[in-house]
Amino acid sequence: MKNIAVIGAGTMGNGIAHVFAQNGFQVHLIDISAASLEKGLATITKNLDRMIAKDAITEANKAVTLANIKTFTTLSEGVAQSDLVVEAATENIDLKLKIFRELDSVCNEDTVLATNTSSISITHIASVTSRPDKVIGMHFMNPVPIMKLVEIIRGYNTSDVVTQQIMDLSIKLGKTPTEVNDYPGFVANRILMPMINEAIETLYNGVAGVEEIDTVMKLGMAHPMGPLQLADFIGLDVCLSILNVMHDGFKNPKYAPCPLLVNMVMAKKLGVKSGEGFYDYATSRKAEIVAKSFKK
């Protein structure tokens, strides 16, 4: 596998493209928005400059990495001749199914189709293609250039050959692949999201404030980032989407999203991406969200 197509130039997509390109792969970064592609390339460039500042790479490495990336706004053109396509679009099942139907119709029959979904069933996604044996989950962690883990999720029909190919490929990227089975939330988010949701419930019930909850988890549990700050970093809309997938998939009330999370997403308080969530990022000052103000 040398030719990689990445669909989506957002946070995860540009990070995935960065990692592949830095490791010598030819990458086609695809997005329907030219502005998003421009922003994605700017983010990759900025992250490469940070690596140069830390003496992790050289200017020559940066130049080669950027030269390995080409951008496209047309899906069929972007995925042509790709050995692997990694979909990193918004965590929306209808959108992903639409993309995979189109990929199945325009990609070569041997092309492996991967999704970076953090919770949606690989088996469901594969079911809309004629190649379910070649559909697999590659759940990268954010920020992709730094985080080592890749959850490799096998759908019901994913073949052993494809699974091993993707495991080996992940190692070539300098990642640590971990194989898991196809259940809602997989492993990472099945454990992480209930913890974040419980932290939001703790705030909602008035047990402690934002900073206090995060401090307990950072200093008491040795977490590098508190759960509420992490939720802001992930995106509260993404957290809500994942919890809804797990709640719907398991029919277990323990996965039901906290009303505070639901209300914050409706109020467009999405975290870092919107400038405000549990913290205020627009003014560079902490601004706790008072639970009672979102209860109605």
The residues annotated as belonging to the active site are 118, 139, 151, 189
For residue 271, give the DSSP letter.
Answer: B
Residues at the binding site for NAD(+) are 8-13, 31, 91, 96, 118, 142, 273
Contacts of 143 (CB under 8 A, 6+ apart): 11, 15, 47
Residue 69 CA to residue 185 CA, distance in Å, equals 31
Q: Bridge partners of 176?
A: 149
Q: Kindly provide the residue ranges of all beta strands, DSSP E only, lying in the chain, ordered along the sequence.
A: 3-7, 26-30, 69-72, 84-87, 112-115, 135-140, 149-154, 176-181
135-140 vs 84-87, strand pairing mode: unpaired
First to last CA, the chain: 52
